[in-house]
Amino acid sequence: MTAHRDLLSNFNWVMAANLVSGASNFLAMAWFARQLGPSILGDYAVVVTTLQLVAAILSAGFDQAVIREPDNKDLWAAATMATVSQAFVLIVASGCVYFVYHLQSPTVATGLLYPAGLVLSSIVVSLFSYLIAAPIAAMHGYRYLSVVRLASMLAGVGSGLTLASLDAAIYALAARDLVCAAAMLLLVWIRSPAHATWNASRPGLTHLMRFARGMWGLNILERLALRLDYMLVAILLGKELLGMYFVVRGLVEGLLGFLVNPIQTVLYAHYCRMRHEAQLHWGSDGRISAVYWGACILLAVLSYFFAPYTISMLLGEPYRTAYVIMPGLVVYCGGILLYETLKVMAMSQSRHSKLIMARISQIVVVSITIYPLTQSFGLFGASLATAAGATALAAVAWIRTMRLRSAQPLPTF
C-alpha cells in the first residue's frame, strides 16, 4: 500500500505541475503565434525540426539507465562520459548539416545561424539536465522535479515573451528554449545526489551500452517519428503551412504531454521498482477497447466542428484554415497514449527493444501515406497520415507486448 500511496502522491505532483505549466505554455504559444505570425513560426519549425532530427541519431537513453539503477556508481560515471561524447558529436553533426544547407541556400542559412546556435545550445544543456535529474527521479523525487520543471518553463516563457514584445522575432523562441534548459540544469544540479565524474570503468560502460543498445534504436525511431511529418509538410506544402501545422500540433501535443509526462516519469519509475512483483499483472477487458477508441472517434468528430472557432480565437484568423488537422491529431493522441503506457512497462523489464517494430510501422505508414494524402487534401491529408501512423504504432505495440507477456494479461484498448 505504501508503494501505491507513493505512486499516487507523485502522480498528483506531476499532474499539478503539468496543469500549470501546460496552461502557461498553451497560452504563451498562442501569443507567440499571434505576435510572430506563420512565417516566423515556420522558420523556427525548420530549425527545431532539423536539429531534433540530428539529435535523434544520438538519443541513447543514458538517463533512463541511471533511473533503473541509481546506486550503481560505475553506471553513473559511464553515463556521464557518454553524455559528454554525445553532446560533442551532436555539435559536430549539426555543424555539418548547417554547412550543407549553407551551400544550397546561403542567404536563408545565414539568417538562421544564430537562432539555430541558441536552439542547439538548449538541446545540449538539456542532455545534461536529464542525466543529473535521473537520480532524483529514481528516488521518486517528483515533487521537486515538478516544481523545477514549472519554474524553468516560466523562466523560459517569460524571457521569450519579453523578447517577442521587443520584435526579436525568431530569437524570442530560441532564447525561450535556452533559458528554460539552463534553469532546469541549474535547479537539478543543486538537488541531485550524484554529480559528474570521469572515473568510468569498463564494466560500467559495458553495462550502460547493454541497456542503451535497445534504447538507442527505439529513441532514434521515436524522435524520427515525432518530427518526420514536420519535415515532409515543409517539403510538400511550404514554410508558411508548416508554421500553421507546427503551432496547432504543438498546442495539441502540449495538452497530450499533460497525460504522457506522468506515464513516462512516475509510472516508469514505479514499474522499475515493482518489475519483479505481482503488481505488474494487468487486467484485460474487451469493453475498454470500445470505450477508449469510441471516445477518440467522438472527440475527433467534435473537434472538426469546434476547431475553426477555437483556433481563430486563440491564434487569429491567419491560422483558421488549420482547423482541418484537428480530427487527425485527436486520433494521433489516442494512439500515443496507448503506446506510451505499454512502452514504460516494457522498459522496466529491459524489453524496450521489442517495441522498435512499432515505431518502424509508424514511420513506414506516415512515409507511404503523407504524399498522396497531402496532394489530395492538403493539411487535412497531413493530419490523416499522422493519425494512421499513430494507429499503426499502438496496434503493433499492443501485439508485441502481448507476445512478451502471453502468460500475463495486459490492458486492452
Cell 538507442 -> residue: 216
pLDDT digit string, tens, across residues 56-94: 777 767 777 777 776 677 777 788 888 888 899 999 999
Residue 408 Ramachandran class (φ > 0 left, ψ -120 to 50 alpha, else beta):
beta
Are the beta carbons of 224 and 363 closer than 8 angstroms?
yes
Predicted confidence band at 115 (pLDDT cuts at 50, 70, 90)? very high
What are the cell numbers at 398? 499492443
> Which has more pLDDT, 352 or 347?
347
Give the separation between CA 27 and CA 95, rounded to whole angstroms: 33
Are the beta carbons of 397 and 342 closer than 8 angstroms?
yes
Residue 254 has pLDDT above 70, yes or no: yes
Mean pLDDT, all residues of the chain:
80
Give the separation between CA 406 and CA 164, rounded to whole angstroms: 54
Give the separation between CA 389 and CA 334, rounded to whole angstroms: 12
Are the beta carbons of 169 and 111 closer than 8 angstroms?
no
So what's the pLDDT on residue 56? 78
Average pLDDT of span 397-404: 72
Cell 520584435 -> residue: 167
Residue 96 has pLDDT above 90, yes or no: yes
Instruction: Report CA Rg, the chain.
Output: 21
Taking alpha carbons only, the member of 384, 369, 284 closest to residue 331 is: 384
189-193, 229-233, 269-273, 373-377: least confident range: 269-273
Amino acid type, 316: G
Q: Which helix (H) or strand (E) holds 181?
A: helix 170-191
Percent of the chain topping pLDDT 70: 80
Give the separation between CA 72 and CA 194, rounded to whole angstroms: 11
- Please indicate, yes or no, whether the overall pTM of this predicted structure exceeds 0.95: no
pLDDT digit string, tens, across residues 157-207: 999 999 988 888 899 999 999 999 999 999 988 887 765 566 666 776 777
- Other beta carbons within 10 angstroms of residue 351's beta carbon come to 16
Residue 176 phi, psi (nearest 5): -55, -45
Q: HSE of 250 in the Cβ direction (CA atoms, 13 Å)? A: 22
Highest mean pLDDT among 156-160, 209-213, 261-265, 290-294: 156-160
Are the beta carbons of 346 and 272 closer than 8 angstroms?
no
Q: Which helix (H) or strand (E) holds 386?
A: helix 379-404
In sequence order, the 6+-apart residues with CB closer than 8 A to the CB of 331 are 296, 297, 300, 387, 390, 391
Residue 275 has pLDDT above 60, yes or no: no
Percent of the chain topping pLDDT 90: 23
